[in-house]
Structure 1
């Protein structure tokens, strides 16, 4: 992001340190480990920034080495963190990730009551929100605490009143809350959302479980102008409020790490929206970003830059 450029995209949420094994096997004494950091909303901000649009991330981090690592990493990716807060009263959260077998990941989170969950409406930079073209939120943040939920609701209200596009990724996390509570709370965001992203199981929080096409169309009747269903290896589809339907196969690649692929997909879709591209081109860029992400270990490390998109052109059979 160019210094002084107002962010085109603003997002808010939790980010945490990650300790991950680098080879299959249990997390045990002597296991080789990789230290990093992650966060769904931060991944989207990085993806949009790498694709050439100014992006900002807001959240709370501890006044500790892990929090400093996250902030330094986001700054290095050109993401505006001027509105991020450090919390002297709570440490940064932690994720432990082990590749228990060659094809099974096991993840443990340490986040309850920690810095990320203490995000509150007063942490938000309203000038940043009113100047953004897109606000992106997820269903993770409202699940963290009452104050974090209030922060999301306030951000949506401010951004929408200013005319920004509101993007919402359902991102349901069953470890944080049950389906009934999630459905009740997150359904309240849909009428104020312009673009909603969900997998079929997440869409079923709000609409009857049917074909992906029918579910996406049903979501648009709840408020969003565009409902994007992420179907993993089967690709994705978008239903629009005017009755349009756009279907996109996935780009075939060798999957190394599925973590972060959905957020990478969202970053590509929103970057293309900021480009002013039509829905078909948004899906195209989203699919490429998702393919890059699953091809590289880590949550955000594999996100592409514009100059790299052609590397997967040969695999993109839908073009």
Structure 2
């Protein structure tokens, strides 16, 4: 892929959160200290785009207190535009990460009820002003799952983005600890009328929309690519999408996964090489890193095969980085695309 300067601008809407992770692969019951970071699915993608030279604006809300300011200070170091983050409410959403190893999976525990963003209501943002001179709007299925009011704001934002001529993308990102699959299907189906580019993974299309790949068992690292091609076709036809992109993860254990991606534009399927990731430092944010690579390729008009290869490599590298953000450069991603995955020290 070519490194092309991008003058197009992206807007993201979602929750900013505090992440508290156990250390040394401890269980929560063992923990006497936590590693503190700040993140959010949309922010993860925005930081990934900024690393590739794409201007990215976060729309959200944090409490008007020291914790909210700590979150924003953390985000500023990665140059995420925070001009449209409101100060509202008292609580910043928190999630606890118990990092798994070998055959014990990682687990999340959410503490986000009554968080700052859930106290917002439709009309709190001037979307026409926010979208002025912007080109792309992105949200995830996590955001409307937070509260009915946030789902209404998401719909309001999508309608304004469509009116303003922006491309709209969505990552399904189903979270069973936030809402039921029945409610997810109802709400997300309603939002799909505004979406142009849909991101999903090997399980979510089946969970949310009932569109499943055949001959697949993700828990046995058995993924049938033709089955996912069928899923992409059905999604595109059902919702009138321009592109469908699916990240594919085969889990051999909590610390060893196979990773690849697929992109469909309505006429051709583009699939990446498969990466055997034998030691995962942190898988959180891998899908967001992948999505950032796809959006960068589409924004800059790149060859679609190059785009999916670049995106898969970006997602692969994210697994080597602690925290939710993909703190790698274009050159590092492209080196992996070119076959340099040896991990040899750079001097």
Matches of 2:122 and 2:131 in 1, distance apart? Answer: 12
- Corresponding position of 1:251: 275
1:206-247 Cα distance to aligned partner (Å, 9 max, x none)? 253231110100011122111111112241212222x22111
Residue 68 (structure 1) shift = 1.2
1:240-291 Cα distance to aligned partner (Å, 9 max, x none)? 22x2211113334432211110111111111222222132222122112101
Residue 112 (structure 1) shift = 1.0
1:183 is aligned to 2:200: no
Residue segments in structure 1 that go unaligned for 5+ positions in a row = none
- Corresponding position of 2:289: 264
What is the aligned residue count? 310
State the secondary structure of the residue aligned to 2:99.
Answer: strand
Contact 1:207/1:215 (8 A) holds in 2: no
Residue 141 (structure 1) shift = 0.7
TM-score by length of 1: 0.90
TM-score by length of 2: 0.83
CA distance 1:61–1:119, shift in 2 (3 Å): same
Deviates more, 1:222-231 or 1:204-213: 204-213
Matches of 1:307 and 1:214 in 2, distance apart? Answer: 34
Residue 128 (structure 1) shift = 2.0
1:93 is aligned to 2:118: no
Matches of 1:101 and 1:244 in 2, distance apart? Answer: 38
1:206 is aligned, of 205, 209, 214, to: 209
- Corresponding position of 1:223: 240
Matches of 2:183 and 2:244 in 1, distance apart? Answer: 22
Matches of 2:33 and 2:60 in 1, distance apart? Answer: 30
Matches of 1:209 and 1:25 in 2, distance apart? Answer: 35
- Corresponding position of 2:218: none
Contact 1:7/1:80 (8 A) holds in 2: no
Matches of 1:145 and 1:175 in 2, distance apart? Answer: 13
Contact 2:41/2:288 (8 A) holds in 1: yes
Contact 1:159/1:166 (8 A) holds in 2: yes
Contact 2:247/2:287 (8 A) holds in 1: yes
Deviates more, 1:249-258 or 1:159-168: 249-258
Matches of 1:41 and 1:177 in 2, distance apart? Answer: 19
- Corresponding position of 2:198: 196
Indicate the RMSD between aligned Cα atoms, in angstroms: 2.2
Matches of 1:54 and 1:94 in 2, distance apart? Answer: 27
State the secondary structure of the residue aligned to 1:135.
Answer: strand
1:91-240 matched pairs, under 5 angstroms = 91-99=91-99, 101=101, 103-126=104-127, 127-204=129-206, 205-210=208-213, 211-221=227-237, 222-232=239-249, 233-240=258-265
Matches of 1:107 and 1:64 in 2, distance apart? Answer: 25
